[in-house]
Structure 1
Amino acid sequence: MNEIQRDPDAVRVTALAGELRVVIGQLKRRLREQSNLGDLTWTQLRVLSRLDSEGPATVTALARAEGIRPQSMGETVSALKAAGLVSGAPDPCDGRQTVLSLTPACIKAIKTGRAAKDDWLFKAISTQLAVAEQEQLAAAVQLLKRIVAT
């Protein structure tokens, strides 16, 4: 740590990293405010996101992907079923398993939420930033893509 404190470039990058983390957290919270899937836990949101991006899955596969016990995932899935967000069907390859997927109502809610987030971002960018600043933001987005690709 002492080496970082002595190196002005390292001090600058450390401060930038902290600022970026805070601002991204604030942006995530603002975006979360724009869409409302109810009072879901972080794990429930992760399951819905995974089913949305990767498609239907079993409780076991979801538990493995999230790094939790199948019993815990079972509780999470039960709550999502009760909320009408996921449904299950027998696995065609193994009738003992249930394949979970998003319900049409959940898919609609996700699409509506994404549209609300996009709308909020559009309004914020177009009203708060000049054209030159919008171009700077576009360049910054490309830099962020490079960071997350590593």
Structure 2
Amino acid sequence: MSHPPPSVPPEALHALAEDLRVLAGKLVRRLREESYVGNFTPSQVQVLNLLEREGPATVTALARAQGMRPQSMGETLAALKAAGFVSGAPDPNDGRQTVLSLTPAFRKKVKASRAAREDWLYRTIQTHFSAAEQQQLTTGVDLLKRLIDS
């Protein structure tokens, strides 16, 4: 017969939530330090992530996805084009529109950035944690996945 887990007091759960928020922020900052891709505005980051996840898109589609006017999206994209991160080609279905996508050079940069961050994590976990602690991290990651998916 299994017993229900002991209840954690609400104040302890609030403290846990705060600690988790602070630690997640510190981890994100540390990972950024390990591999610099560039200084981007929040809207530029959202556009780059959207193009990477969803693939090529028009200015109108990107603006709609971000809840902004196409003119504002045009300004965001102009900076990304000037930096060589995004390129445009005529829409094969509507020659009046341009389909935007990430450049191969930027994709390569993103891939190298991710590899550098994962390498830092791997080396740090390998050298600073015992086998038992590595197993605890594995369990913790599984719990974090559940937290994010809830």
TM over 0.5, shorter chain: yes
Matched residues in 2 for 1:141 and 1:32: separation?
Answer: 20
Matched residues in 1 for 2:9 and 2:63: separation?
Answer: 42
- Return 5+ residue gaps in structure 1 as ranges: 1-6
SS at match of 1:37: coil
**What is the percent sequence identity of the aligned residues?**
60
Deviation at 1:68, TM superposition (A): 2.1
Distance of aligned partners of 1:121 and 1:44 in 2 relative to their CA distance in 1, 3 Å threshold: same
Matched residues in 2 for 1:126 and 1:141: separation?
Answer: 16
Match of 2:148 in 1: 148
Give runs of aligned pairs for residues 103-118 of structure 1, distance below 5 A: 103-118=103-118
Amino acid at match of 1:96: R
Matched residues in 1 for 2:43 and 2:80: separation?
Answer: 11
Matched, 1:67 2:72: no
Aligned structure 1 segments of 4 or more residues deviating by more than 2 angstroms: none
Taking structure 1 as the reference length, the TM-score comes to: 0.90
- Return 5+ residue gaps in structure 2 as ranges: 1-6
Matched residues in 2 for 1:26 and 1:78: separation?
Answer: 31
Taking structure 2 as the reference length, the TM-score comes to: 0.90
Give runs of aligned pairs for residues 42-61 of structure 1, distance below 5 A: 42-61=42-61
Deviation at 1:74, TM superposition (A): 0.8
Match of 1:37 in 2: 37
Matched, 1:92 2:88: no
Between Structure 1 and Structure 2, the one with more helix by share is 1
Match of 2:3 in 1: none
Amino acid at match of 1:64: R
Match of 1:137 in 2: 137
User: Cα deviations across residues 11-51 of structure 1 (Å, max 9, x unaligned)?
Assistant: 11111011000000000011111222222212212211111
